[in-house]
Amino acid sequence: MAVKVNIQPDLAARGDIELFLDMLSAERGAAPNTLAAYSRDLSEFAAFFSKRGAVLRDAGTGEIREFLHDVAARGLTASSQARKLSAVRQFFKFLHAEGLRRDNPAAAIDSPKRQRPLPKIMSVEDVDGLLEATRAWVGIAKGAEVLRALRAHALLEVLYATGLRVSELVALPSDVVQTGQRVLLVTGKGGRERMVPLTSAACEALAAYREALERASAAPSPWLFPTRSKQGHLTRQRFAQELKGLALRAGLDPKRLSPHVLRHAFASHLLERGADLRAVQQLLGHADISTTQIYTHVLEERLRSLVQEHHPLAGAKLDPPQPG
């Protein structure tokens, strides 16, 4: 549990901090919340040195490390520690630029490593259940609800078949796939194009949806999933909401399901079955393979759990070897 700090910087330190905040406001147009955050972090930093009778402007690299150790000892997360270090860095960079210091003592200090959280994923069984629930909805839907059900089914099949980003999925153009075509040409981040294959199930779901859409629409749309939204197509937010409803139909926890979770499922299920990491990177549209490698960590965690749960010696305390 974090301990509250009595923030009482000395007068000289307060003056330097105010000069720095004035610069952020006037030259960089920093928002009030940003200024408040910098003020809190730097005031805490100044108070730390004030207790030791030290002058903030004269702080060295070792003393800054002491402050960071103190912050860590109070139980603050790595992200909070990194934020405080960033404020200190910017502060001393300002003092150096103004000629008030000859160096930036915080420049050589590395930020605390923040462990990247593993992505939430779904089991193959959960995905199958979600798709089956959507197919069942298509079977019982009546009237105007039929098109919504068919659209939901098409969206899910395409998402799980391709691993598209939700922004890419909802904004697919109407001519992205032609009759009999089994590949999508997708424009992703940075205008980079990539080709992603479609499964038979995705092709069939798309064909059924497009047929119903043509019957229901008075005029053609440039979008594959048109709506009356400002963008002209289904929004990411609306699709996420609909996905929560589909989760309830499938008996899944809506809080654990999102379009991004299905993208994760696509990648992790491919890797589980031996897909090449580079191929998955290309399908996902990742510019850097290190982004894709997060899924290998998911598999490592699963394998570790599998061994811990099922290996006969897992967790067993072995007797030490006896001499001679």
Nearest to 134 by CA among 122, 124, 148, 144: 148
Q: Residue 228 catalytic? A: no
* CA dihedral (251, 257, 263, 267) positive or negative: negative
151, 153, 233, 263: the active-site residue: 263
Structure tokens at 167: 């922004």
User: What is the pLDDT tens value at each position of the chain, 324 positions in all?
Assistant: 333 334 444 666 788 889 999 998 888 888 888 889 889 998 888 888 777 777 778 888 888 888 888 888 888 877 788 888 888 888 989 988 888 888 888 888 877 665 555 556 788 999 999 999 999 999 999 998 999 999 999 999 999 999 999 999 999 999 888 767 788 888 888 788 888 999 999 999 999 999 999 999 878 899 999 999 999 999 999 999 999 999 999 999 998 899 999 998 998 898 888 888 888 888 888 877 777 777 665 555 554 554 555 556 555 544 555 555
38, 160, 209, 295: the active-site residue: 295
Q: Residue 263 catalytic? A: yes
- pLDDT at residue number 252: 93
Q: What three-state secondary structure class fits 91? A: helix
Tally of residues, the chain = 324
Q: Is-contact 46 9, C-beta < 8 A?
A: yes
Terminal CA-to-CA distance of the chain, rounded, Å?
Answer: 50
Q: Is-contact 251 129, C-beta < 8 A?
A: yes
- pLDDT at residue number 143: 92
- pLDDT at residue number 8: 47
| Distance, CA of 230 to CA of 22 (rounded, Å) | 40
User: Is the full-model pTM beyond 0.75?
Assistant: no
- pLDDT at residue number 257: 92
Q: Residue 260 catalytic? A: yes
- pLDDT at residue number 322: 59
Domains of the chain: 11-97 (1.10.150.130), 124-308 (1.10.443.10)
189, 302, 304, 311: the active-site residue: 189
Q: What is the CB-side half-sphere exposure of residue 138 using CA atoms within 13 A?
A: 19
Q: Residue 160 catalytic? A: no
101, 151, 165, 233: the active-site residue: 165
Structure tokens at 165: 């980003």
